[in-house]
Structure 1
Amino acid sequence: MSKNFYTEHQMKEIEKNPNVARVSDRSISYHSAFKMKAVKEYYEGKTPSQIFIENGFNLDVIGKGQPKRSLKRWRDTYEKFGEVGLESERRGKGSSGRPSSKVLSAEEKLKKAEARIKFLEAENGFLKKVRRTREAGVEKETLTASEKFQLIERTIRVYQLKGEVSYLCTLANVSRSGYYTWIQATETRQKREESDELEIELIKRIFNHKKEKVGALQIKMILENDYFVIMNHKKIRRLMKKFGLRAKIRQANPYRKMLKATQEHRTCPNLLDRQFDQQEPGKVLLTDITYLYYGRSQKAYLSCVKDGSTKEIVAYHVYNSLEMELVYQTLDKLVEATVQFHPEAILHSDQGFHYTNPMFQEKVKQLGIRQSMSRKGNCWDNSPMESFFGQFKDHVMYKSCETLTQLKHEVNEYIKDYNQHRYQWGLMKMTPAQYRSHLLAA
């Protein structure tokens, strides 16, 4: 048996050689006449590789070690049993390649019986593959039509049951015409396989380079913007699935509830009504706080302000306490990052005690910004901010940080990359910074 694993296209190519009796994905059976010819030429001084090449074999396909292994086996057989041994040599369940002699009616019956046994073995092997899929806990049959055609083709090739195509197609619940169409498209599929292997290399480079293991839409935008390659996102998904590239997906938690706000502070009405994107940079500012565990179960807090139109993080602050200093520092950084506030700017938050605090509300009012709040216990009223925190926790390895300084560095790097380099489908495939410039120019 060969140490190689032959593809469907390679098996077709090997079969064309007249010296080959049959071929499977793991082995090649040669005609006895070629075996005797090869042994005699070897004793005349030719090398195994030379013999195979002169007889039309491509060593890149069958394997460079195949001639040497085959000649050694044939020489051993020839030295023990002579030419008769090469004619009657059988490996596994394959035919010997001996030319058929005059047959009698009794022998015909015997051959039919043997063919029937082989057919039952093929049928049993085929059903086992289907049953294994069902026993894995999958309720429906998961084999695709292409996989069934491939299984039928291999079964016919191994057991030499060319006359049983219709039966196997019926067994597999596929059409006979579909099977032959699939056979005729072998070369096309081979070209597609080669094309997929080339294209996946660039996708793998992007996928492995990004710490957050980006998905198909992110890869599409990176291909277009950084590599000037246009590729359909459905094709990217197909290739990622085919080669096992899985992006980390954050699962929604419908039971997550926001903490109840205290009744001591004054709340503000919801001025946004979920109209986050108003196509004007700086008009809608969303803010919220999330916790980050690091070191030995130490907890820090990240406060952010996000532009609702550009999705850019315009200000943020990491602090080791939930004291009011956390949001005050965030406001100060917002002022530093903003040349001039939008005349109708709105700062939207939940009803947390930081934002209902009278001193905080006074600071916001002095900046000329109107304050808006989500309804109590309704996270959807500030969903863009919640979404950013979810993405942040999926992509940043903040739990591996040992110190607060290290944590701040990780936060800085991610937000910088998010603003400057993370293409977003909803921003016309631009980064938040690019989209802000686009809106300002418009």
Structure 2
Amino acid sequence: MVNLTIRQHNLQRMTRYLCKLARVSPSGYYRWLTAEEARQLREDADKHDFRLIKEHFDILRGKAGPLVIKIRLERVSGLVMNHKKIRRLMRKYKLVATIRQVNPYRKMAKATQEHQTCPNLLKRQFDQGEPEKVLLTDITYMHYGNGQCAYLSVVKDGATKQILVHYLSSSLELSLVERTLENLLDRLDGNVHPDAILHSDKGMHYTHPKFGQLLKKAGFKQSMSSKGNCWDNASMEMFFGHMKNDLDYKECQTIQELRSRIEDCIRYYNSRRYQWSLKKMTPDEFRSHLLVA
């Protein structure tokens, strides 16, 4: 304010008086004046870096936070930028990521169902360092079109976070998880890890005796979330949250269109979605990394 007044009215000999009115020390004013060029350089640098951030932010349709953008800058653009700086610039220029909030009551409802048939073998130790040893599965509802509903069953690798298989159906019958298990065995080509665990919640599909028998025959140990604890299958819930946040599935008019979009989304998630917890790799890359290590 002092500097603007002095410049506008050419009041060079009134600096001390104006500083006194503004309750600013003359020495402080002159230090600020000397640093003006540096401030302008920083502002120009911020604008330049923000343009780079917004480019990736827009590509991801506003659904990416600082960590995801940092990884994309490094992997896609070859630029290293501190995530704290990215967060500061996003806050400065009011760039807010659209993050889907998971409904805690829905999670709790799934976790408090009755009929526990087997113990929780994982205790939230989803990542045990070996691909295809700990497998997580769950079902999510997907409302689309004009009131239609489809059901997506997924199996996720606890170590690599890869989505190994998925199956979409318009029916919620037991065949939904049976077909998912068939697809999983095809994907593994019969090479089931000797200590393989398939972990789920206590939904009616997973507590069904037939499904338990199929798992046992295939060589899987069955594990289920503890009663009343919504965090015991948090890894699967997290994937569904990201998927529904990224996928415009409600616009689909047919289940075939929905199936195609889901396949594209999962393909992108496995091969192109860099994750901070995977050493900034994609799930596919991290699997190769673990196998080599």
The answer as to 2:152 corresponding to 1:298 is: no
- Partner letter of residue 35 of structure 2? A
Shift of 1:261: 2.9
Equivalent of residue 167 in structure 1, options 10, 21, 25: 21
Equivalent of residue 281 in structure 1, options 125, 131, 144: 131
Contact 1:196/1:239 (<8 A) preserved: yes
Partner of 1:420: 271
- Partner letter of residue 394 of structure 1? N
- In 2, the alpha carbon distance for the partners of 1:220 and 1:229 equals 9
- Partner letter of residue 166 of structure 1? K
Partner of 2:228: 377
- In 2, the alpha carbon distance for the partners of 1:216 and 1:410 equals 26
Partner of 1:291, secondary structure, is strand
Identity of aligned residues (%): 51
Q: Measured at CA, do residues 156 and 403 of structure 1 come closer, stay the same or move farther in structure 2, by a change above 3 Å?
A: farther
Partner of 1:195: 45
Q: Measured at CA, do residues 157 and 438 of structure 1 come closer, stay the same or move farther in structure 2, by a change above 3 Å?
A: same
Q: Measured at CA, do residues 182 and 255 of structure 1 come closer, stay the same or move farther in structure 2, by a change above 3 Å?
A: farther
Contact 2:63/2:99 (<8 A) preserved: no
Partner of 2:290: 439
Equivalent of residue 261 in structure 1, options 113, 137, 141: 113
Partner of 2:245: 394
- Partner letter of residue 279 of structure 1? G
Equivalent of residue 332 in structure 1, options 160, 179, 182: 182
Shift of 1:436: 0.6
- In 1, the alpha carbon distance for the partners of 2:267 and 2:133 equals 22
The number of residue pairs the alignment matches comes to 286
Partner of 1:148: none
Partner of 1:368: 219
- Partner letter of residue 290 of structure 2? L
RMSD, aligned α-carbons: 2.0
Partner of 1:352: 203
Q: Measured at CA, do residues 274 and 220 of structure 1 come closer, stay the same or move farther in structure 2, by a change above 3 Å?
A: same
Partner of 1:310, secondary structure, is coil
Cα displacement string for residues 386-428 of structure 1 (whole angstroms, at most 9, x for unaligned residues): 1111111111111111111111111111111000001100110
- In 1, the alpha carbon distance for the partners of 2:27 and 2:153 equals 63
> Which stretch shows the higher mean deviation, 266-275 or 178-187?
178-187
Can you give the 5+ residue segments of structure 1 that lack an aligned partner in the other structure? Answer: 1-150
Partner of 1:28: none
- In 2, the alpha carbon distance for the partners of 1:292 and 1:230 equals 38
- In 2, the alpha carbon distance for the partners of 1:169 and 1:410 equals 62
- In 1, the alpha carbon distance for the partners of 2:2 and 2:224 equals 64
Q: Measured at CA, do residues 211 and 410 of structure 1 come closer, stay the same or move farther in structure 2, by a change above 3 Å?
A: farther
Partner of 1:214: 64
Contact 1:305/1:315 (<8 A) preserved: yes
- Partner letter of residue 423 of structure 1? Y
- Partner letter of residue 281 of structure 1? P
Cα displacement string for residues 1-58 of structure 1 (whole angstroms, at most 9, x for unaligned residues): xxxxxxxxxxxxxxxxxxxxxxxxxxxxxxxxxxxxxxxxxxxxxxxxxxxxxxxxxx
Equivalent of residue 90 in structure 2, options 240, 247, 253: 240
Contact 1:268/1:371 (<8 A) preserved: yes
- Partner letter of residue 98 of structure 2? K
- Partner letter of residue 113 of structure 2? A
- Partner letter of residue 216 of structure 1? P
> Which stretch shows the higher mean deviation, 422-431 or 194-203?
194-203
Q: Measured at CA, do residues 164 and 439 of structure 1 come closer, stay the same or move farther in structure 2, by a change above 3 Å?
A: same
Cα displacement string for residues 323-346 of structure 1 (whole angstroms, at most 9, x for unaligned residues): 111111111111121131111010
Partner of 2:281: 430
Can you give the 5+ residue segments of structure 2 that lack an aligned partner in the other structure? Answer: none
Alignment of 1:306-321 (within 5 A): 306-321=156-171
Cα displacement string for residues 135-171 of structure 1 (whole angstroms, at most 9, x for unaligned residues): xxxxxxxxxxxxxxxx45435545656322133236x
- In 1, the alpha carbon distance for the partners of 2:286 and 2:220 equals 23
Shift of 1:180: 3.6
Contact 1:286/1:307 (<8 A) preserved: yes
Contact 2:2/2:18 (<8 A) preserved: no
* TM-score, scaled to structure 1: 0.61
- In 2, the alpha carbon distance for the partners of 1:169 and 1:411 equals 62
Who wins on radius of gyration, i.e. which is larger?
Answer: 1
Equivalent of residue 259 in structure 2, options 387, 398, 408: 408
- In 2, the alpha carbon distance for the partners of 1:228 and 1:347 equals 38
Q: Measured at CA, do residues 187 and 390 of structure 1 come closer, stay the same or move farther in structure 2, by a change above 3 Å?
A: same
- In 1, the alpha carbon distance for the partners of 2:45 and 2:34 equals 19
Q: Considering Cα pairs closer than 8 Å and 6+ residues apart, tell me whether 1 or 2 has the greater RCO.
A: 2
